[in-house]
């Protein structure tokens, strides 16, 4: 019973990491480009 | 593959090219090698993650898990643990070498020119070998999914990587890495979501075959320990990973970037292994459960994004390793013979040419003369038993002796070579273990008995005074 819950947690953490990095890229893009 | 998927893939490439064109061209060797040391922790994290996630750490893991179950996650977790330990103890200290562009520089500051050149040669050979292997893998994977001829698949993906990494250096590499990370982190878990929508994750977990359902995965103990050790030490501080610590904005950013990567790797390994384990009952005859699941379950349009993710997995590893090879060749090898390669226009121009040459040559050799790439990959086997622990000691122990490091590299390398290629790994004891033990015995014996000062010019630590 535990396994499906762990799989769902892993899926959502992975997608959240992607979204978080996307937000950070937008915030930092100008600095990254010009530095 | 439908028309819409092809459009998505083409749009992805065009988007990437636009972002690369918006990036400034590298103007100095510091720009090209370490991005002006202005990279914040989240970007270090995304770039490092995109680099370590190659075909083996994604599709390869899924297909292994389809064979033996979640035991492979436990084995891969040795890599996560290593990344977290490097984050806590090594990455911040590496970043405090303010003038270093490569791990060869760090070795040179502690152990002198000879150890720097040896580290440089190993770095270049290891990295060039990887660039070739990934070029071939990109051909196999991209032509397998899209139906493009093998040669065209290699040419398209490799040429794009070579062009943007030569133009913008590590800055272009990082920006594309981050973009590629976003695509792969969001789209690969979608395979599981769509598998679950069709059959239900709970039902799929109930169908996991008995043979792969035990935690041991039917692995005998010694090979299991050997594999764990391989994942713990095998890729520790390889050049592109070390460069991520050197380019961070601060010691804090270096630490945090590695810690986030270690934590993310745990989640990533679990997602990939789950695709293999749950996909096995759906595709029992498939020899690539990952690809079968992706092609079957991702709907039109999303399949295009999934394929873009696979291309991202390939390119984001290849670009970082290619940059590391070029910078290391110029800085650690050429720079040790003439200071003109250490700074100024010559350094930048030479590194650019090396980037282009290594990329082209490694790809041509990988397709036409695979023996050369296999020979270069011997350096992968030799990496952990030669360079890794002396590098860790260089970072942690300022009074480490150059002769101790030189002897450790020589004895570690010899012991590994003899055990692996001379005896063929008897008693299933991995050569990595034998090499690491020999490396450490040599290091600490010489460290205890060698004189503090040496007059041998090749073994006098280089003074950290390079100008950027």
Beta bridge partners of B248: B39
- Region B56-82: mean pLDDT is 93
> B81 or B342: which carries more pLDDT confidence?
B81
Q: Does B69 touch chain A (CB under 8 A)?
A: no
pLDDT of B210-235, one tens digit each?
767 666 656 777 778 888 888 999 89
Percent of chain B with pLDDT over 90: 59
Output the pLDDT for position B227.
86
| Burial profile B285-296: b = 16 or more Cβ within 10 angstroms, e = fewer | ebebbbbbbbbb
Residue A1 has pLDDT above 70, yes or no: no
Which of B179, B202, B268 is opposite residue A14, by nearest beta carbon?
B268
What is the predicted pLDDT for the residue at A22?
A: 95
A·B CB contacts under 8 A:
87
Residues of A in contact with B185 (CB under 8 A): 14-15, 17-18, 21
Q: Which residues of A touch B (CB under 8 A)?
A: 1, 3-4, 6-8, 10-11, 13-15, 17-22, 24-25, 28-29, 31-35
- Report chain B residues whose CB lies below 8 A from the CB of A29: 175
Pick from A7, A25, A34 the residue to mutate for testing the B interface (most B CBs within 10 Å): A7
Burial string for B170-187 (b: 16+ CB within 10 Å, else e) reads bbbbbbbbbbbbbbbbbb
Output the pLDDT for position B156.
86
Shortest distance, CA A34 to any CA of chain B (angstroms): 6
B28: confidence class by pLDDT, cuts 50, 70, 90: confident
Confidence of residue B207 (pLDDT cuts 50, 70, 90): confident
Structure confidence at residue B206 as a pLDDT band (50, 70, 90): confident
CA distance B196 to A6: 14
Residue A30 pLDDT greater than 80, yes or no: no
Residues near B374 by beta carbon (within 8 Å), at least 6 away in sequence: B129
Write phi, then psi, for B216 (nearest 5 degrees): -75, -20
Task: Give mean pLDDT, residues B42-53.
Answer: 96
Instruction: Decide if pLDDT at A21 tops 70.
Output: yes
The reply to whether B267 touches chain A by the CB within 8 Å rule is: yes
Taking 3-state DSSP, the helix, strand and coil percentages for chain B, each rounded to the nearest 5, stand at: 80, 0, 20
Nearest residue of chain A to residue B201 (CA atoms): A4
Identify the weakest region by mean pLDDT among B54-58, B204-208, B391-395. B204-208
How does residue B467 score in pLDDT terms, banded at 50, 70 and 90? Answer: very low
Residues of chain A with C-beta less than 8 angstroms from the C-beta of B35: 35
Confidence band of B312 (pLDDT split at 50, 70, 90): confident
The rounded distance, in Å, linking the Cα atoms of B390 and B115 is 10
ipTM: 0.95
For A24, residues 6+ apart whose C-beta sits below 8 A from its C-beta are: B40, B42, B43, B46
Classify residue B24 by its DSSP letter: P
Nearest residue to B70 (alpha-carbon basis) of B295, B230, B280: B280
B270 → chain A, closest CA residue = A10
Instruction: Say yes or no: B182 contacts chain A, CB-CB below 8 A.
Output: yes
The string of pLDDT tens digits covering residues B157-202 is: 899 899 989 988 998 999 999 999 999 999 999 999 999 998 888 8
């Amino acid at each position: 019973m535990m396994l499906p819950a762990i799989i769902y947690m892993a899926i959502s953490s992975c997608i959240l990491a992607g979204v978080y990095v996307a937000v950070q890229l937008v915030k930092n893009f100008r600095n990254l480009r010009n530095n | 593959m439908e028309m819409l998927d092809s459009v998505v893939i083409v749009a992805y490439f065009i988007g990437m090219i636009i972002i690369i064109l918006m990036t400034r061209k590298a103007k100095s060797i510091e720009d090209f090698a370490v991005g002006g040391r202005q990279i914040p922790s989240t970007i270090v994290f995304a770039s490092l993650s995109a680099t370590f996630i190659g075909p083996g750490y994604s599709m390869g893991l899924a297909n292994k898990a389809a064979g033996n179950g979640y035991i492979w996650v436990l084995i891969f977790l040795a890599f996560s643990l290593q990344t977290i330990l490097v984050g806590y103890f090594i990455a911040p200290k590496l970043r405090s070498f303010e003038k270093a562009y490569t791990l060869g520089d760090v070795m040179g500051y502690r152990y002198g020119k000879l150890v720097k050149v040896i580290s440089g040669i190993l770095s270049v050979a290891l990295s060039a070998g990887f660039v070739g292997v990934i070029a071939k893998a990109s051909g196999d994977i991209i032509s397998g999914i899209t139906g493009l001829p093998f040669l065209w698949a290699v040419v398209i993906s490799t040429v794009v990587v070579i062009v943007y990494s030569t133009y913008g250096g590590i800055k272009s590499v990082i920006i594309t890495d981050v973009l590629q990370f976003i695509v792969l982190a969001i789209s690969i878990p979608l395979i599981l979501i769509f598998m679950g929508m069709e059959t239900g994750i709970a039902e799929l977990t109930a169908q996991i075959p008995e043979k792969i359902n035990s935690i041991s995965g039917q692995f005998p103990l010694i090979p299991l320990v050997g594999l764990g050790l391989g994942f713990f030490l095998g890729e520790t501080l390889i050049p592109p990973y070390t460069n991520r610590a050197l380019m961070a904005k601060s010691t804090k950013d270096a630490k945090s970037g590695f810690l986030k990567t270690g934590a993310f790797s745990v989640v990533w390994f679990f997602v990939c292994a789950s695709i293999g384990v749950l996909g096995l009952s759906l595709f029992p005859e498939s020899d690539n459960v990952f690809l079968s699941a992706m092609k079957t379950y991702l709907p039109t349009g999303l399949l295009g994004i999934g394929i873009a993710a696979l291309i991202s997995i390939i390119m984001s590893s290849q670009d970082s390793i290619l940059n590391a090879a070029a910078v290391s060749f110029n800085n650690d090898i050429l720079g040790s013979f003439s200071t003109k390669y250490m700074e100024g226009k010559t350094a930048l121009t030479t590194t650019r040419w090396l980037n282009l040459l290594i990329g082209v040559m490694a790809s041509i050799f990988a397709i036409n003369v695979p023996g050369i790439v296999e020979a270069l990959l011997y350096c992968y086997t030799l990496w952990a038993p030669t360079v890794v622990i002396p590098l860790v000691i260089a970072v942690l122990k300022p009074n480490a002796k150059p002769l101790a490091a030189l002897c450790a590299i020589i004895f570690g390398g010899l012991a590994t070579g003899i055990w692996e290629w001379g005896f063929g790994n008897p008693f299933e004891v991995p050569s990595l273990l034998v090499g690491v033990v020999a490396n450490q015995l040599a290091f600490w014996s010489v460290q205890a008995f060698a004189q503090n000062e040496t007059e041998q010019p090749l073994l006098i630590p280089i003074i950290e005074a390079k100008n950027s």
